[in-house]
């Protein structure tokens, strides 16, 4: 069972989005250095690593996840990924595949903006040399803002009249305007809280500038964004990376975003290097796991297949230009940063708090911690029971306990390390 949220890879054509999806998942997205290689969204499953409680409770030998895997107390939880069609300037007006891209975006919870840091593709995704990608982050954000703002402004006058006639709460009226983007009312309220003092309290008094400020703040919360500066091992990447980092350098003590991005959420990456390393590992030429800072080849482990001179040169180039220089290919870090932005909490539902098994029996042979579900921050014990999609559990809810047989209240917020191992009771 993969997570209920979706990480979407966005950006201009040929920036490396499909390569990224292939690098981090088992998907086979079509890859090509020409615009609009992706037309329908490609999807796949990646894995988010976290500490599994099996190690803390000494049951690592019985930890058998139904989904994903656990290696020596390190749990790899499946998360859903999506690569959508490339976006070009003017997409909000229907240029390129803009309408399709923006419609696909509704299904995303967090965005990974893949930027070609090498400068070898222009803003249309066409092959070139010497292109300056420093503005790519800005114009993609601008297109999304124009798309949402244009839709909201088109309905604004009618919505304000209805708002005044019904004396609705501002959050309710605004939620009606942005619900189509997969937004919960809670996000709208948080947006209004951020705008407090920056716009008139009565939205009926808002002008176009106020609406646009609301949209910009709303997008910061609705679509948190990680920027993956891709192709870092290519010539000219260094100077482009430096320019982009200067633009988005954080002001000490400030949490303000620029174009929806903060310096802390920019990751340096090479998707093609990751694809090659995974392929070589799968074929038995090297020993390598995604996220490693190096690989082991035949000269260090005779059980591995020897590589020819061409393969050896490519592997050494990846080692020198990517792994030794940056510590990894950046692909795993990108996924981790995206999930961390959402603040989701790992929850381990069990049926037995004595052996952490999925059955109520007391034996020690039961598989432990078979399930791990990532839940929204702030999820309560009862809300999580509903999330498990069990009608019997929801209707027959009779209480819950955590480790140490501590009873949990329905409205207790689930917190990692405190009460995120849960046994539910169901009335007969």
Q: SS3 sequence, the chain?
A: CCCCCEEEEECCCCCCHHHHHHHHCCCCCCCCCCCCCCCCCEEEEEEEEEECHHHHCCCHHHECCCCCEEECCEEEEEEEEEECCCCCCCHHHCCCCHHHHHHHHCCCCEEEEEEECCCCECCCCCECCCCCHHHHHHHHHHHHHHHHHHHHHHHHHHHHHHHHHHCCCHHHHHHHHHHHHCCCHHHHHHHHHHHECCECCCHHHCCHHHHHHHHHHHHHHHCCEEEEEECCCCCCHHHHHHHHHHHCCCCCCCCCCECCECHHHEEECCHHHHHHHHHHHHCCCCECCCCCCCCECCCCCCCCCCCCHHHHHHHHHHHHHHHHHHCCCCHHHHHHHHHHHHCCEEEEEECCCCCCECCCCCCCCCCECCCCEEECCCCEHHHHHHHCCCHHHHHCEEEEEECCCEEECCCCECCCCCCCEEEEEECC
Mean predicted confidence (pLDDT) in 20-25: 86
Least confident of 63-77, 101-115, 180-194: 101-115
pLDDT, averaged across the chain: 87
Can you give the pLDDT at residue 273? 96
Give the residues across from 421 on adjacent strands: 348
Q: How confident is the model at residue 377 (pLDDT cuts 50, 70, 90)?
A: very high
Tell me what pLDDT residue 169 has.
93
* 215 pLDDT higher than 90: yes
Residues 6+ apart with CB under 8 A from 82: 6, 7, 8, 9, 41, 42, 43, 104, 107, 108
Q: Is the pLDDT of residue 137 over 60?
A: yes
| Residue among 334, 224, 216 at smallest CA distance from 326 | 334
Q: What's the mean pLDDT in 277-303?
A: 95
Q: For the chain, give the percent of residues with pLDDT over 90.
A: 63
34 vs 276, residue with greater confidence: 276
* Percent of the chain with pLDDT strictly greater than 70: 88
User: Tell me: the pLDDT tens digits for 293-341?
Assistant: 999 999 999 999 999 999 999 999 999 999 999 999 999 999 999 999 9
What's the mean pLDDT in 62-90?
A: 86
Q: Using 50, 70 and 90 to split pLDDT, how confident is the model at 201?
A: confident
pTM of the model: 0.87
Residue 225: both structure tokens together: 């964004």
Report the candidate in 391, 395, 398 with the shortest Cα–Cα distance to residue 423: 398
Average pLDDT over residues 145-168: 93
How many degrees, rounded to 5, is the angle at CA 9 between CA 8 and CA 15? 170
Return the pLDDT at 190.
Answer: 93
Residue 225 burial by Cβ neighbours in a 10 Å radius (0-12, 13-18, 19+): buried
Contact 38, 61 (CB under 8 A): no
Confidence of residue 143 (pLDDT cuts 50, 70, 90): confident
Q: What is the pLDDT of residue 255?
A: 76
Tens digit of each residue's pLDDT (9 = 90 or more) over 105-130: 888 899 999 999 999 988 887 888 88
Q: Which of 87, 188, 179 is nearest to 140 (CA)?
A: 87
Whether residue 235 is predicted with pLDDT greater than 50 in this model: the reply is yes
pLDDT tens for residues 90-108?
A: 655 655 444 566 677 888 8
Short-list 162, 138, 287, 311, CA closest to 216: 138
């Amino acid at each position: 069972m993969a997570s209920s949220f979706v990480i979407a890879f966005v950006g201009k054509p040929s920036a490396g989005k499909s390569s990224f999806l292939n690098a981090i998942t088992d998907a086979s997205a079509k890859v090509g250095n020409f615009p609009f290689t992706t037309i329908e969204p490609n999807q796949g499953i990646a894995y988010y690593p976290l500490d599994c409680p099996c190690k803390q409770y000494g049951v690592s030998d019985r930890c058998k996840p139904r989904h994903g895997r656990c290696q020596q107390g390190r749990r790899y939880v499946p998360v859903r990924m999506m690569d959508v069609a490339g976006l070009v300037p003017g997409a909000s007006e229907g240029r390129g595949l803009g309408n399709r891209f923006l419609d696909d975006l509704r299904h995303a919870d967090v965005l990974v903006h893949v930027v070609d840091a090498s400068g070898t593709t222009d803003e249309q995704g066409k092959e070139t040399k010497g292109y300056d990608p420093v503005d790519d982050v800005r114009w993609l954000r601008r297109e999304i803002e124009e798309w949402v703002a244009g839709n909201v402004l088109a309905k604004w006058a009618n919505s304000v009249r209805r708002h005044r006639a019904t004396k609705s709460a501002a959050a309710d009226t605004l939620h009606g305007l942005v619900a189509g983007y997969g937004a919960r009312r809670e996000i709208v309220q948080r947006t209004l809280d951020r705008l407090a003092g920056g716009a008139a309290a009565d939205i009926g008094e808002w002008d176009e500038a106020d609406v646009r400020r609301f949209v910009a703040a709303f997008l910061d919360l609705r679509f948190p964004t990680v920027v993956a500066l891709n192709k870092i091992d290519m010539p000219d990447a260094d100077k482009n990376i430096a320019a982009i980092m200067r633009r988005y350098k954080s002001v000490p003590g400030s949490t303000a975003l620029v174009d929806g991005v903060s310096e802390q959420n920019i990751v340096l990456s090479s998707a093609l290097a990751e694809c090659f390393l995974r392929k070589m590992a799968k074929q038995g030429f090297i020993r390598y796991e995604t996220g490693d800072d190096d690989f082991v080849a035949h000269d260090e482990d005779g059980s591995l297949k020897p590589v020819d001179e061409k393969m050896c040169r490519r592997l050494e180039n990846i080692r020198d230009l990517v792994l030794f220089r940056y510590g990894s290919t950046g692909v795993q870090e990108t996924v981790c940063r995206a999930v961390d932005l959402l603040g989701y909490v790992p929850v381990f539902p069990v049926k037995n708090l004595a052996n952490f098994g999925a059955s109520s029996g007391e034996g020690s042979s039961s598989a432990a911690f078979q399930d791990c579900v990532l839940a929204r921050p702030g999820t309560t014990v009862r809300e999580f029971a509903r999330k498990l999609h069990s009608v019997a559990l929801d209707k027959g809810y009779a209480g819950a306990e955590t480790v140490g047989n501590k009873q949990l209240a329905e409205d207790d917020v689930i917190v990692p390390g405190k009460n995120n191992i849960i046994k539910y009771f169901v009335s007969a």
